[in-house]
Structure 1
Amino acid sequence: MAKQIFVNLPVRDLPKSKAFYEAIGFTNNPQFTDDTAACMVLSDTIYVMLLTHAKWGSFTKKPITNAHEASEVSLALICDSRADVDAMVKAGAAHGGKADANPPQDLGFMYQRSIEDLDGHNWEPFFMDMSRMPQG
């Protein structure tokens, strides 16, 4: 069985966060979604669980970091093309996210941008063309 990852993120507004993640390419799995959590699926191995602050609090007593003010995690996600990177950032920004919260990078063989979700969680979609990677 392939390894799967479930990224759990605390969110302030579950419906708006679901709409944001749907806009950037995730689909909702209603089997694991209710008023306190939403399972957002990107592939058969990548899932994001959006959890209300109350639900998050049932898993840990640590305070929730304000990701708008402090760096907590950066989630890099490979895309099929530069255009897909741009489309993801554009769609996220159109649904309340912050485009290019970190400076875009274009190294020729690798192209990367960033998009913060509504709660400040940082995603870095990127494209790599290994045939253009410098040798040595």
Structure 2
Amino acid sequence: MHKMVFINLPVTDLPRSKAFYQGLGFEVVPAYTNDQAACIRISDTIFAMLLVRPFFQTFTDKTIVDPATHVQALSCLSCESRAEVDEVVAKARAAGGSTPRPPLEYPGMYGHGFADPDGHTWELMYMEQDATAQGHAS
């Protein structure tokens, strides 16, 4: 059985956040969506849980920081090609997101990223097959 990943993100405006992720082509899973949370299917094994801030706070005693000014994690999704990286970034911009930095080139790798309307950063990476086999990650 494959493991599933659920990335929980605090959001300030749930309808806006749902619309943003739908604009990227991701699906809302109705069975796990209500007025406090939305489950976004990124792939068969990766989901983003968009949780309104007060609801998110019930899962932790730690202070929630503003993702527009503080980073706690960078989520990275693989892409099938350089073109897919650029297409997803374009969709993110069109849906109201931003691009905090320009695309990056590494030996055997190409990456870019976006920030959602709340400031959560997502990296997108295309890795050539030869590069993944040789372990080029620096």
TM-score (norm 2): 0.90
CA distance in 1, matches of 2:115, 2:72: 12
1:70 is displaced (CA, Å) by: 1.2
Counterpart mapping for 1:54-69 below 5 A: 54-69=54-69
Residue 2 of structure 1 is matched in structure 2 by: 2
Residue 103 of structure 1 is matched in structure 2 by: 102
**Secondary structure in structure 1 of the residue aligned to 2:84:** helix
CA distance in 2, matches of 1:27, 1:108: 33
Distance 1:43 1:132, change over 3 A: closer
> What is the CA deviation profile of residues 80-132 of structure 1, one whole-angstrom value per residue up to 9, with x for unaligned ones?
11111011111111111112x13321125111001001111110011111336
Residue 15 of structure 1 is matched in structure 2 by: 15
CA distance in 2, matches of 1:82, 1:25: 18
Aligned-CA RMSD value: 1.9
Q: Does 1:34 align with 2:46?
A: no
For 1:77, the aligned partner's letter is L
Residue 116 of structure 1 is matched in structure 2 by: 115
For 1:128, the aligned partner's letter is M
After TM superposition, which residue ranges in structure 1, 4 or more long, deviate above 4 angstroms?
Answer: none
- The percent identity for this pair of structures is 43
Structure 2 residue runs of 5 or longer lacking an equivalent are none
TM-score (norm 1): 0.91
**Secondary structure in structure 2 of the residue aligned to 1:113:** strand
CA distance in 2, matches of 1:9, 1:113: 20
**Secondary structure in structure 2 of the residue aligned to 1:35:** coil
> What is the CA deviation profile of residues 16-40 of structure 1, one whole-angstrom value per residue up to 9, with x for unaligned ones?
1111111223110000000000000
Distance 1:46 1:132, change over 3 A: closer
CA distance in 1, matches of 2:37, 2:91: 22
Count matched residues. Answer: 135
Structure 1 residue runs of 5 or longer lacking an equivalent are none
1:56 is displaced (CA, Å) by: 0.6
**Secondary structure in structure 1 of the residue aligned to 2:10:** strand
